[in-house]
Amino acid sequence: MLEHIDDSNFHEFMAYPNVFLMIGKEECVPCKNWTEELINNLLDSPETNGLASDVRLSGLPIRWGKVTLGKGKLTEFKREHGMWLSQVRDLPHNTLWVDGFLTKEWTGGGHDRLVTRLQNVGLLPIT
């Protein structure tokens, strides 16, 4: 499941030990495509046993979320995460957080790129 993150839930979301957080915009076509790929092909759904299951089987569950800039209240989120967020130039922008620390960030989508980064931070075994 890809959770919508805003000021009402980001503290609880970011407190989880392992977090994938995508930054996007409503009118961004690559953001929309990456969101659809995540939801339809990679994350668990009734139709697929996706990447989220692989991560869970590794023993390190992860929460999946998306911040949509310009949608919902993000004042607190921007205040607390403004340092790295101000450096974001291209969307979609993806981040991996382990124990509250930003461990990996990259621009763009794609299954292979995501898997490589999950492996690099130890959330998936290297095959």
104-114: pLDDT as tens digits = 999 999 888 99
Residue 62 phi/psi, 5-degree rounding, is -135, 145
- For residue 82, the SS3 value is helix
CB 85 within 8 A of CB 14: no
Tell me the average pLDDT across 73-101: 92
* 126 in any annotated domain: no
* 106 in any annotated domain: yes
* 51 in any annotated domain: yes
Residue 5 has pLDDT above 80, yes or no: yes
* 40 in any annotated domain: yes
* 127 in any annotated domain: no
Structural domains in the chain (count): 1
The per-residue pLDDT for 88 is: 92
Looking up residue 59, the CATH number of its domain turns out to be 3.40.30.10
Range of the domain at 114: 2-120
For residues 122 and 118, give the distance between their C-alpha atoms in angstroms, rounded to a whole number: 6
For residues 125 and 127, give the distance between their C-alpha atoms in angstroms, rounded to a whole number: 6
Number of H helices, E strands in the chain: 5, 5
21-74: pLDDT as tens digits = 999 999 999 999 999 988 887 766 544 445 665 555 566 788 899 999 988 789
